[in-house]
Structure formats: C-alpha cells, structure tokens
C-alpha cells in the first residue's frame, strides 16, 4: 500500500520512528529470559503460520515472474526454508546475552569504582533487499541485543516479509514486549527509504543496509546517521614464494569458488613471480577446471594461455562471479602495495610457510580481516564463532569485520563513589 502523498508518508514514518524510540527503553531493560521467550515464541509462530507465510511468498513469486532466476531463488521460500528460519530464531535465543557485560572495571586512587558496561545501541534501521528471511534473522539479532528494529525489506518480498513480521510480533506480544520493538515500514514507497536515511528526526541511532552495492552505496552516501556496512569485498589471496603448493591450491580454489556470490569470496589472486610456474600454473589450472574465468596481467597470460587479458578496472572489481583477476608480484611489499591501492579493506589472505613474512602481512595491512593460510571465505560471523552475524563492516569506527551480537551493543560508564568531589 502506497501512501497517498508525501505529507501522509512523512507523518506515518515519523510516527513509526517515535514508536520505535518509545519502545527502546523496554527493550534496553528487558531481561535475557524475556528476550529469549519472545524469540522462542516467534519461532513457534513461524512454524504455526508456515502455510500463511508460504502463501504470502507465492504471491510475491507470482509478481516477481520477470526477475532473474538468481533473484527468484533468493526470494523463494519452501517448507525447509521456513523451518530453518524458525530454527535460526531459536539459535539466537541460545546465544549469550551481550547486554550488561562488564567490559572493563577499575578503581581510581580516590576510591571511585569505574565500570564500562555493554548497553544496547537503541533504534536500528535495517534496509535490505529480496531475501525475506532477513526479516527474521536481523530481527532476532536486534531483539537479542536489546535494540529496537525498524525493518524495511525489498518491495519484491513485501508479502513474505509482512507474514514473517507478523509471527515475530506474536513472539513480542507473548513475552509482554512492545510490538514497536520490531517495527516494519508498511509501505513499499521508495521515498520511505530516504526518510529512514534522514534519521526520522533523531529517532534512529544506526542504519544497517543489507544488499547489493547499489543499495549500500546509496545508504552510505545519503544517510545522516551512522551506517554499519561494507560497500564491497575486493578480497585478495597472496601466494608467497614459500607457499606450500597443496595448501595454496586448496585455499585459492576455496577462497574463489566455494561460493562466488559472498562478500568474502576472493576476487584477485597475487602470485610471487618466483613461483609463477611451479605454483601459479597448477593453481590456475585448478581454477579453470572448476569453471573460473582467469583475467591475468601480461605475464600471467603468457604462462597460462587460457587467461584473458585483465584491464585496469579488473584490479578493483568485485565480480561476485566465477571470475578472478591474477597478477604476478615481486614479494610481500609489492603484494601489500597492490592490496592497499586496489583493495576494499575487507578480507585478505596470505599463503606461506614463512612465519616472518606472514606476520608482516598480518601486521601491515589495514583490512578488517587478515588471514594466514586460511580461506577468505571464513569472513563470516558464524565461522568466527559469533553464532550469527547481521553483516560485515569495513568502516573504521565502532565495529569491523563480522558484526554479531556483541557488536550491536555500545557501552556506558557506571561510576560508584562514596561522596567524592573533584578537587
């Protein structure tokens, strides 16, 4: 349903923001048991309303008939996906509560007892695209971390998201939490996104976009409030001269080809010139056999005739597809300089048996995640042991890398005294 005019939409959105803000205190103070009860009740409601959710999804799918197969697959729900969604809610309930943790505590010489305590951030606007399960996954993480969510899913998944949202709200109601704790933008009007980006008169503390570069780029460029996101993952694997060949072959193929559409997929491969033939040739052969297109610099094309010639743009391209850019480099400094120039500070991996070189790589690069002898596809909250992630950040402030429950909190200082005045 589209709002009849801008004034009506503005009024509706501001009301949504105020509602979310007024729910924030209840969520901030909600006990772990209450939040978990809401999550488990929501899981029960998702299962109980499975038929309704699938019917809503069928409606979305019929409207989306013209979309690409990949987008249709993202949008599609079936019984297994609905079950997985309910299970994910229960999994978040089982995670430790990040709120109230004592992050640090010390006593000053004057007796002041100072503690840094983890607190919720407040109101988080989630702006995402077609996958309807984000409604449940993101809603669960925001709720468990004591925050309030304003959810704005893609228009293609509007019916599915509405049905899932209804189940979440049932969980809130069962736990006695305010329904506004998981608010949903009730219109698919694109102007609503612009209003979220403006912060809805100071009611939004943080925006987390989940989707393609178009959405994330718009959010980053236009938001008037902090954004937690990564624009893209131009991730590198660097095969050092002292790389173990077997490890290098396995790591490169896994980093690129396990799933090509994830942000932690490798996009550029750097190989030391000294091992271009001994290591480069078998690695490129593996990639080609796995169905990957090779775009190489001049030397790579000379060694591996199956390669296409890379253009300058290739070094900074996030393909999200079975394509890899490959370049020969002269050792660690050359590799680091290339990554610093063309990378997106997301995730980079070095393959080497030489500890000193590895530590230099790990220390020098300023990316959110740097790995030694491990696949870039580990760039994921679950793989980091966080239980779940709401996204990955490449900004410098607050949180970088996988953003899990702990990263959805901020802190305050609690100071206990006995009448101290400042001299």
Residues that bind a copy of itself (CB under 8 A): 25, 28-29, 106, 108, 112, 114, 119, 121-122, 205-206, 226, 244, 246-247, 250-251, 254, 258, 340, 358, 362-364, 366-375, 377-378, 380, 383-385, 395-398, 400-401, 410-422
* Residue number with CB closer to a copy of itself (45 or 370): 370
Residue 199 beta carbon to a copy of itself: minimum distance, rounded to whole angstroms: 11
- Distance of closest approach, residue 244 Cβ to a copy of itself, in angstroms: 7
Cβ-based nearer residue to a copy of itself, 155 or 364: 364
Q: Which is nearer to a copy of itself, 134 or 370 (CB)?
A: 370
| Least distance (Å) between residue 248 CB and a copy of itself | 9
Residue 274 DSSP label: G
Give the C-alpha separation, 123 to 97, whole Å. 18
Q: Which is nearer to a copy of itself, 323 or 369 (CB)?
A: 369
CB nearer to a copy of itself: give 42 or 124: 124
Residue 370 C-beta: closest distance to a copy of itself, Å: 6
Q: Say how far apart CA 183 and CA 192 lie, in whole Å.
A: 14
Tokens 């490798």 — which residue?
A: 266
CB of residue 365 to a copy of itself, shortest distance in Å = 8
Is the separation of the CB atoms in 257 and 290 below 8 Å? yes
Closer residue to a copy of itself in complex, CB, 130/377 = 377
Residue 259 C-beta: closest distance to a copy of itself, Å: 9
Residue with Cβ nearer a copy of itself (213 or 416): 416
Smallest gap, in angstroms, from Cβ of residue 377 to a copy of itself? Answer: 4
The closest alpha carbon to 227, from 216, 212, 239, belongs to 216
What is the distance between the alpha carbons of residues 132 and 405, in angstroms, rounded to a whole number? 21
Cβ contacts of 332 within 8 Å, gap of 6 or more: 238, 240, 357, 360, 361
C-alpha 355, offset from chain centre: 31
Residue 77 C-beta: closest distance to a copy of itself, Å: 25
Q: What is the CA radius of gyration of the chain?
A: 24
217 or 226, CB closer to a copy of itself? Answer: 226
Beta strand pairing call for 293-296 and 323-329: parallel
Work out the number of other CB atoms within 10 angstroms of the CB of residue 399. Answer: 18
3-state class (DSSP) for residue 283: helix
Instruction: Give the residue with the Cβ less far from a copy of itself, 190 or 422.
Output: 422
Q: For residue 24, give the 3-state DSSP assignment.
A: helix
The answer to whether 411 and 119 are in contact (CB under 8 A) is yes
Using DSSP's 3-state secondary structure scheme, residue 200 falls into coil
* 42 or 251: CB nearest a copy of itself: 251
d(CA 271, CA 282): 12
337 CB-near residues (< 8 Å, 6+ apart):
none
Nearest distance from residue 47's CB to a copy of itself, in Å? 28
Q: Which token pair is 8?
A: 């009506």
Q: How far is the CB of 162 from a copy of itself (least distance, A)?
A: 29
| Residue-wise DSSP of 375-397 | -GGG-STTTTTSS--SEEE-SSS
Closest to 294 measured CA to CA, from 284, 302, 286, 303: 284
């Amino acid at each position: 349903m589209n709002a009849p005019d801008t004034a009506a939409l503005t009024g509706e959105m501001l009301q949504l923001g105020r509602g979310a803000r007024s729910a924030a205190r209840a969520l901030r103070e909600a006990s772990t048991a209450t939040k978990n009860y809401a999550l488990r009740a929501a899981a029960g409601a998702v299962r109980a309303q499975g038929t309704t959710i699938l019917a809503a999804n069928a409606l979305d799918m019929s409207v989306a008939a013209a979309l690409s197969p990949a987008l249709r697959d993202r949008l599609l729900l079936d019984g297994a996906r609905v079950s997985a969604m309910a299970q994910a809610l229960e999994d978040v309930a089982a995670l430790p509560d990040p709120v109230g943790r004592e992050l640090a505590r010390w006593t000053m010489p004057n007796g002041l007892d100072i503690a840094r305590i983890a607190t919720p951030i407040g109101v988080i606007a989630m702006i995402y695209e077609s996958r309807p399960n984000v409604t449940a996954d993101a809603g669960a993480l925001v709720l468990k971390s004591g925050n309030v969510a304003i959810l704005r899913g893609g228009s293609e998944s509007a019916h599915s998201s509405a049905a899932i949202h209804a189940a979440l709200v049932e969980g809130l109601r069962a736990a006695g939490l305010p329904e506004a704790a998981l608010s949903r933008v009730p219109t698919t009007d694109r102007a609503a996104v612009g209003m979220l980006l403006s912060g809805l008169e100071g009611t939004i503390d943080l925006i987390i976009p989940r989707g393609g570069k178009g959405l994330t780029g718009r959010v980053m460029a236009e938001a008037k409030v902090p954004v937690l996101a990564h624009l893209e993952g131009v991730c590198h694997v660097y095969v050092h001269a002292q790389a173990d060949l077997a490890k290098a072959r396995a790591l490169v193929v896994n980093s690129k080809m396990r799933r090509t559409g994830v942000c932690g997929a490798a996009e550029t491969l750097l190989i030391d010139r000294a091992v271009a033939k001994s290591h480069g040739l078998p690695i490129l052969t593996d990639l080609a056999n796995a169905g990957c297109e090779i775009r190489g610099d001049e030397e790579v094309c000379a060694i591996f005739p199956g390669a296409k010639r890379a253009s300058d743009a290739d070094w900074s391209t996030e393909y999200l597809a079975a394509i890899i850019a490959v370049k020969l480099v002269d050792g660690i400094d050359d590799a680091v300089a290339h990554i610093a120039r063309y990378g997106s500070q997301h995730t980079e991996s070095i393959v080497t048996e030489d500890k000193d070189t590895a530590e230099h790589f790990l220390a020098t690069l300023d990316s959110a995640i740097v790995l030694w002898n491990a696949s870039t596809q580990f760039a994921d909250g679950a793989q980091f042991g966080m239980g779940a992630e709401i996204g990955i950040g490449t900004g410098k402030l607050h949180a970088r890398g996988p953003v899990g429950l702990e990263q959805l909190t901020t802190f305050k200082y609690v100071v206990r005294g006995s009448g101290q005045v400042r001299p």
